Each structure stands twice: as structure tokens, then as C-alpha cells.
Structure 1
Amino acid sequence: MQLALPKSFLCLLLLLGSTAAFSQTEPSKLFETMQGLDTQLFDAANHCDYEKLTALVDENLEFYHDQGGLMLGRQAFLESIKRNTCGVMVRELVPGTLQVYPVKGYGAIEMGTHRFHHPGHEKEFPAAKQLGMTRFLDPGADEWQVGEAKFLHIWQLKDGTWKLTRVVSYAH
């Protein structure tokens, strides 16, 4: 009888160890997926690629902005990108700020801080020149501020496809 207890205990440890190993690898895969989706989303926004944006954003997107208020729907989001950001600014994820959390039965939450470079800041952000933002500052001119804000994105995984369903952009 005493031998059964150590074997049971050993089996329990092995089972818990394999569960812990699985749970540690799963968030890393989810993190990589969210990081990739973030890159795709903002590469599309920075390059004014409305076809790609359409593919990534849910038709019923809800976008909450601390200064701009609530925006409803993918079409309103695309129009806002065309009107306010395309060719006007370039978004960059601040390194080391991305956080990802699973949402059981739905998808994932992505949080972080992003930085917006405006035309005239090409001296600081060389990628802006590659995106066609070539309006360099005149010597001695005041530089445009680089804005930072926090964001929260909620992504839904449905039928094998990730779609951005909710955005909260705050602390501008």
C-alpha cells in the first residue's frame, strides 16, 4: 500500500508538469499571433492598404477613443483612416509594451503603447521616408511632436480567421 502512494504522487507530478509545459507554450504562440496581427494591421494602415484593413477588421467594429469618442463599424473606421491618418502619421508599437491575454471561447486581448510619428519627423523615424512621407523639416523649424497613447484591441477567432472587433485608444 505504501508503494502505491509514491507512484500516484509521481504520476500526479508528471501530469502537472506536462500541463504546466502546455500552458507555458500556448501563451507564447498566442503572443506571436497577436504580434503578427498587430504588425499586419499597422503595416496596412501605414501604407493606406484598405483591402488588407478590410480583411482584418470586423464589419461591426467598435472603436473607443478618449478624445474622438465612439466610432461604430468598419466603414467608419476605414473613412477615418483615409481622412485622419493615411499619409499624415505612421504608427509604431513601442518595443517591450505588448501584452496578450486569451479570452476563452472568443479570441484574445492585445494591449500596449503605440507611438505616432507625424510628417516632418523623418529625421527620427527613417521608415516614414520609405512610406512616402518625405516632407523633411526646414533647418531650425519646430519639430512636430511624436504622440504616444495606450491601446487595447480585442480580436475574435472565428472559423480560423482573426478579426479585430473592439479598439480602445486612450491616454493621448
Structure 2
Amino acid sequence: MNSIKIFTTAFIFLCGLTVKAQQQASAGKASYVPDDRTLFNTIVRMDSIFFDAYNKCNVDLQTAIYADSLEFYHDKGGYSTSKADVLAATKRNICDKVTRTVVPGSIEVYPIAGFGAIEIGLHRFFNKQEPDAPQHDSKFIIIWKQTGSDWKITRVISLH
């Protein structure tokens, strides 16, 4: 029940951010500037560490960064609450086949008091098996939980 409350709160928060971003874009205001530069740099670094492991098929490091209570929402692949299933799908569908790059300047990081942070950004995937296939930017949302100096991915929303 607690994870549903956290997810619902995060979803409402993200909806508010989306409306705010759309209002700023339409009003011609400046682009995103992080409120907490240290937190921003930490999450960008964690994103880089995780996706370097993803691109190199370092499943042990991915396993260490994913929380045991992982929830993964994929607009095409569905919903999973199994960390083992997400890792198996990565091995089967991603390893040595796909690489991910973040769209420069697209990451936004918002603190969640007493929990961690939400990362929102754009990334693109390169399919090594179809090198001429068109690439497009996709939105992602990652909810990070902090315990001491340790950061874990607890929720992923992947939209293509």
C-alpha cells in the first residue's frame, strides 16, 4: 500500500511538472535549472553509471543499482514488479544489441524529501542489428531512493 501511495504522489507531482514545463515553454521562459546542483550532479552520475553497465551488459552492477522492490512501467512492454524478469529481458533483448545515450541537456532532477529524487529526461537507443533504422528520442522517468550515500532505482517509466 505504501508503494502505491508513493507512486500516486510521484505521478501527481510529475503531472504538475509537465503542466509547469508546458506553461514555461509557451511563455518563452528559460529552460530548466536545477534547484539543487549537488543532487542533480549525483543523479546524472548515477544515471551514467547505470547505463554504462546497461550498454556493456554488466548485469551484476545493474542488479546492485536496481532496488529489490523495482517497478518497471514500459509503454510497449507493460508493467513488471520482478527485478529478475527485468534483468532477464535486458539480457535477452539489449545485451550486445542496443546502446542507450542520453539526449544532452535533457535531464531534470527533482528532490523528493525524505526519499530521494525523480529524474526525467530524454534518451535514444541505437539498435546494432538495424544500424540504418531511424532513431528517435524517448522520454524516461526514474525514481531514485537514497539510503545513506547509496542510491537505488525503485521505479522506471519508459515511454517511446
TM-score range, shorter chain: 0.7 to 0.9
Instruction: With the length of structure 2 as denominator, give the TM-score of the two structures.
Output: 0.75
Give the secondary structure class of the aligned counterpart of 1:101. strand
Give the secondary structure class of the aligned counterpart of 1:43. helix
* Offset of residue 93 of structure 1: 0.3
What residue in structure 2 maps to residue 105 of structure 1? Answer: 114
Asked if 1:59 is matched to 2:68, the reply is yes
Q: Which runs of 5+ in 1 are unaligned?
A: 1-23, 122-136, 138-142
Asked if 1:40 is matched to 2:45, the reply is no
Contact map agreement 2:34 2:108 (CA 8 A) in 1: no
What residue in structure 2 maps to residue 159 of structure 1? Answer: 148
Give the secondary structure class of the aligned counterpart of 1:144. coil
What RMSD, in angstroms, separates the aligned Cα atoms of the two structures?
A: 1.8
Distance of 1:83 and 1:167 partners within structure 2: 19
Distance of 1:79 and 1:153 partners within structure 2: 19
Deviates more, 1:70-79 or 1:96-105: 70-79
What residue in structure 2 maps to residue 146 of structure 1? Answer: 135
Cα offsets for 1:98-125 (capped at 9, x unmatched):
000000000000000000011157xxxx
Distance of 2:82 and 2:70 partners within structure 1: 5
Give the secondary structure class of the aligned counterpart of 1:97. coil
Contact map agreement 1:107 1:157 (CA 8 A) in 2: yes
Contact map agreement 1:117 1:147 (CA 8 A) in 2: no
Give the secondary structure class of the aligned counterpart of 2:137. strand
Pick from 100, 121, 127 the counterpart of residue 91 of structure 1: 100
Distance of 1:169 and 1:57 partners within structure 2: 15
Contact map agreement 1:156 1:165 (CA 8 A) in 2: yes
Change (3 A) 1:25 1:117: closer
Asked if 1:76 is matched to 2:65, the reply is no
Instruction: With the length of structure 1 as denominator, give the TM-score of the two structures.
Output: 0.70
* Offset of residue 88 of structure 1: 1.1
> Structure 1: which amino acid aligns with 2:67?
D
Change (3 A) 1:89 1:147: farther
Distance of 1:43 and 1:25 partners within structure 2: 23
> Structure 2: which amino acid aligns with 1:117?
F
What residue in structure 1 maps to residue 4 of structure 2? Answer: none
Pick from 103, 113, 118 the counterpart of residue 127 of structure 2: 118
Q: Detail structure 1 runs of 4+ shifted over 4 Å in the superposition.
A: none
